[in-house]
Structure 1
């Protein structure tokens, strides 16, 4: 008896016959690998794998792959790659896929699509999960490999969004250098494409373009299976993941798994506000200036025409709700992160302190320019800040608040993006329509310096306890 495996590519289907005997024997091997996991201290992976459906796919460019189908996670195996591994490497590839699930990569990657290249996203995710694994296949993307290959100094145990940002910058720089070299040397465009392909950490491609049987690893396509996942929102995926986790926990877990599971339970799967701000900075329009050091792109043969460079100067407004809802510690830490993010763009930054009205406006370039916050404690209205932003034609507004103000803005933002950053103690934004993304600051311990009447004694001493007085 034979089973039929169908894969679709470029508008046509290829049918691969999989004998039942082969499938049974192959999954018997997978069971042996799973047994080794069950007997290992990391038996969590074994119990997690037992809940997953299994499929054979010859068209994936990695030994294993995973996606979400129906109400189950499905793990897929490419025998052409999987069978070339030893038992320990096989176990690591299974762990690799489960760690992608536990890290929330299946939904976190969607937030970055379109802004970053598939190669950067895939390598960043693989760096994160491979950091925790031993006995990796020789072609695996690791932190050490990326640092050496792209001349980076990436730090371990960072969020995958951090790695995406840094890797994409390296890829863009590499592409720019290659384009400049091609222009100087007069190389053909296809030579540039070949050099880019050479930068990918993969084995020489032995596959015909039309072939549905993949025998070589390709990091740019290693997560293509995720596009075939059933339509499910982030919350649904998290709920199913937590159910899988609950059934897989049969004993003590390694420390890194405990931390990963804790982060998954406590997160909403959202991009942190500071990383989201980095994404926004890439969309902020910047001024153009002429330069004689670069040829005009449209007419490069015209030496009399000057090229253009982006001067990266735009108006960024940082609004601070001073009504008492955000602590000095929270804001000081947040403004440091804002300045660190925008420093590479050399943008103009203006701080506006506001409660029910704007109280103070000043510009900053470094942390030393940030002034001590005014101690006025009035109500909160968001509209005055938006009126100021519209009048001064800013490019980006970052509003720090606890979220409690009007339910409707009296002035609608025009021509700029808005990022709301709620205090760690703030629950939600009062506006029914925020006209921008709403993120939260990380909860932090704060020293509440607000004076309450219950803190004041009805009697005490003044002038260094020399004179007794009564209230």
Structure 2
């Protein structure tokens, strides 16, 4: 089977080279774009499907089932045989036939495994945090040597641990962390006066066609990824993983999968709320513009000014699948957090319109939720909040609303809380943090809810808090 596939790849490579020769001649005359013929594209992906069947038949069939779920496209300007990104709410694998077809079938299979390992090791998310601090070349090399440690055979020009150590006079050891590798490589790049095999110059020509491996261009398509919350991307990844996990997996895959599931189970939205509430909390503040009330003659003592009440609005999507018990449980968390601050809480019941607005002081002030009369639209609440100059908006919804807001939020922060059967927020630009409610293990009757004694929060499974809007 593999011999037949190898022969087919050689034939496709010959067709590709004939097209390339014709394209170069036409480009000189007519400046034509590099677009492969439809017949070749169809043949190429039929060939890729056969390679993917080899992955399914392999002992580690996880990669084959994962690959089936992905989009597949051709990109001639990527600097490696394959590349991956998250686009249009799905993972997409790109192929450069000029670099892919000359490989052996085993190397092709490992190129596909290579990209899937980038996803499972959560490199797309981790690279976002590192790319502002390290050069693109250092980050590309570090991610590739982490992944390539687990793959053999690899393309002859692949970035391996031994190759990086030799090129940059380093002593990196196997199975190190991405963060450690990128730091060591970055230091080596800065200390190196010049390079011959690889350049760390980021001004490479953005040509239509790349025919050789270029470590500086291997992950350029990551810049085209959908700009979604890292936690939401983790939930998408878990769905891919669950669908692909049909048998026994290797230890490194099992550990990576466990890390994905652990991070997705830890949804401490109340910690984000506590952090946000602290930024809008109000009370007395010291000032030199007013004398101390108790000792007005003491000019060395500062007086106090009373701050305004922080306005927190809580929108409840009554058309969604969030249950009353789920909402009340979340609201109890809200009251526990904001009771230490001077706040004014207003609840908005809404679907495609605002149905009711009322103020609450305790959990007992919550009113019964009417049945939703329409679909879900977030814009009316955003417009209402803009008019009332609030400080913080919590929006409880199942996430199934419009994709674009009519009006952008002005002067306040938003925490979107997805519950019910929702698995994502429909908005392309949330303009705030998107978090998920933990599913309730069992339905609790509303009459019993107020007698539940809370023992506080566990501090064991916190995730890093980043409040970037």
Give the number of the structure whose residues are more often strand, by fraction.
1
Structure 2 length-normalised TM: 0.49
Structure 1 length-normalised TM: 0.49
